[in-house]
Structure 1
Amino acid sequence: MTRFQYYVASTIDGFIADEHDGLEWLLQFGMADFAEHYERFLASVGALVLGATTYEWVLREGGGWPYGELPTWVLTHRSLDVPEGADIRFASGEVGAVADAAAAAAGGRNVWIIGGGPVAAQFLAAGRLDELLVTYMPVALGRGRPLLPVTTVTPVLTLTGVTRLGDAVEHVYRVG
């Protein structure tokens, strides 16, 4: 069964990017402690959903589109460039139709809500977010882009797993 998963790294004080959408705080840790865990997660993904800010960051900083031909929805009101060979669809409005299309395209695999926090919050508010997989990094920013900028109280989250990744810790929460 397809699950909608918000898989993300966060500072211990709850930020996923600095005030300028930078990730230097995260990139300083490298990938050595996370690569195998990340590859296992990515193998379970059949479709992606992300916001325009995250999409533009990946295109600018990622050295090419890292997600191959995975069907991807970018929530935006703008027209943006599409890398060659990528299956990118642009959408705006309520996330319900995007969620339905992404689930169908995922072919029984999971849908990764990459980010940012507002995208995950929209899926949560629409009742379409099943899990949060948050890797807390051992650093604090004091301010920046929040992990989950909700406008109402969330349902109680149930902790279903904890994995130590070097000095970081991944918490897996089930929604509801």
Structure 2
Amino acid sequence: MTRFQYYVASTLDGFIADEHDGLEWLLQFGMADFSEHYERFFAEVGALVLGATTFEWVLREGGGWPYDALPTWVLTHRTLEAPDGADVRFASGEVGVVADAAAAAAGDRNVWIIGGGPVAAQFLAAARLDELLVTYMPVALGRGRPLLPVAEVTPTLELTSVTRLGDAVEHVYRLG
């Protein structure tokens, strides 16, 4: 069964990017402690959903589109251009429609809600978010883009696993 998973790194004080959408606070740690764990997660991903800011950051900072031909939905109200060879679709409006299309494209694999926080919050509000996989990094920012900016109190989350990744720790929460 396809699961919608918000897989993300966060500061200890709950931010996924600084005030300018920067990730220098995260990139300073490198990937050595995380690459094997990430590869296991990514092997189960069949489709992606992300917001325009995250999409633009990946293109600008990632050295090209790293997700090959995985079906990808970018939630935006702006006109953006898909990278050559990428299966990227731009959508606005009802997130449930995007969720249905992404689930169909993912088949028996999962849908990765990459971010940002507002995208994950939309999936949560539409009752289409199954798990939060949050890697808490040993750093605090004091301000920035929140992990999960919600308008209401979230439902209670069930902690299903904790994994130490060097000095970081991943918490996996299931939504009821």
Q: For this structure pair, what is the TM-score category when the shorter chain's length is used for normalisation? A: over 0.9
1:44-63, Cα deviation, whole Å (9 max, x unpaired): 00000000000000000000
Is 1:129 matched up with 2:129?
yes
Q: Secondary structure of 2:38's match?
A: helix
| Aligned residue in 1 for 2:89 | 89
1:2-26, Cα deviation, whole Å (9 max, x unpaired): 0000000000000000000000000
The alpha carbon displacement at 1:130 in A equals 0.1
1:8 corresponds to which letter in structure 2? Answer: V
Identity across matched positions, percent: 88
The alpha carbon displacement at 1:79 in A equals 1.3
The alpha carbon displacement at 1:124 in A equals 0.2
Unaligned runs of 5+ in 1: none
**Counterparts of 1:96 and 1:71, CA distance in 2:** 16
**Counterparts of 1:126 and 1:80, CA distance in 2:** 25
1:104-134, Cα deviation, whole Å (9 max, x unpaired): 0001100000000000000000000000000
| Aligned residue in 2 for 1:41 | 41
Question: How many residues are matched?
Answer: 176
| Aligned residue in 2 for 1:113 | 113
**Counterparts of 1:107 and 1:85, CA distance in 2:** 21
Q: Secondary structure of 1:99's match?
A: helix
The alpha carbon displacement at 1:143 in A equals 0.2
**Counterparts of 1:20 and 1:51, CA distance in 2:** 15
Moved over 4 A (4+): none
Unaligned runs of 5+ in 2: none
The alpha carbon displacement at 1:163 in A equals 0.3
**Counterparts of 1:87 and 1:107, CA distance in 2:** 16
1:160 corresponds to which letter in structure 2? Answer: T
**Counterparts of 1:77 and 1:93, CA distance in 2:** 9
**Counterparts of 1:13 and 1:78, CA distance in 2:** 31
Q: TM-score, normalised by structure 1?
A: 0.99
The alpha carbon displacement at 1:82 in A equals 1.1
The alpha carbon displacement at 1:78 in A equals 1.2
1:101 corresponds to which letter in structure 2? Answer: A
**Counterparts of 2:91 and 2:168, CA distance in 1:** 34
| Aligned residue in 2 for 1:72 | 72
Q: TM-score, normalised by structure 2?
A: 0.99
| Aligned residue in 1 for 2:15 | 15
1:82-120, Cα deviation, whole Å (9 max, x unpaired): 111100000001100000000000011000000000000
